[in-house]
Amino acid sequence: MVPASIPKDWSEALSNERNAPWFTELCAFVAEERMRATVYPPEPDVFAALVHTPLDRVKVVLVGQDPYHGPSQAEGLAFSVREGIKPPPSLVNMFKELAADVGCPVPGSGSLVPWAKQGVLLLNTVLTVRAGEANSHKGKGWERLTDAIIRVASARCAPSVFVLWGSHAKKKKALIDGAKHRVLEGVHPSPLSAHTGFFGSRPYSKINGMLSALGREPVDWPLR
């Protein structure tokens, strides 16, 4: 892992974290893991969420958990998979609700890069994973960095919408300035929970309604 791949705007905002001993230890851990096993996403894509969504363009923060651990799936954006890769079940459910909510066709691609480029920060709370082993890099230090990213977005970004799906993401609410930003909490799109409140929740139109109320440009959700 190369810390220099963090783009300059985010790197400066996260300077305290980058210079801390625990971050050096985290980098060493990930480097060792890559020597011993396959790790996703590839090194150049670890900070893709920050690359595609500059700090001054953030208008939505969508919090995920850890990267997909299947071959060629993870591209460094929460819930997103590379072009040509079959969308995993949670993403399939997101697309079903997208079609039901805003009336657009189910996308042919599972890559959410177009959302990221519009200012949707697709942030996993853990940024790497060992192949085939979900949550294998949980508790190794990533959470300290991504909590800091959420705090930076809360402190420095214009009023935005923070989207917290599921119990894991909802724990991050304490990091967000609720007086400045809007927080949308909901059920996770996982097949284990989607039928208990995610389907029919209309999150995409709600996000755009919140953005409009904040005086910000809505997200163009259809993926073409």
> 64 — phi, psi (to 5°)?
-110, -165
Say if CB 96 and CB 90 are below 8 A apart. Answer: no
**Residue appearing with tokens 């591209």:** 75
Name 144's Cβ contacts closer than 8 Å, sequence gap at least 6.
Answer: 17, 22, 23
Name 116's Cβ contacts closer than 8 Å, sequence gap at least 6.
Answer: 48, 49, 52, 53, 77, 80, 122
State the burial class of residue 174 (Cβ atoms within 10 Å of its Cβ: 0-12, 13-18, 19+). Answer: exposed
CA–CA–CA angle 59, 147, 47 (5° rounding): 70
Which of 41, 47, 43 is CA-nearest to residue 8? 47
Which of 161, 163, 178 is CA-nearest to residue 213? 161
Active site residues: 66
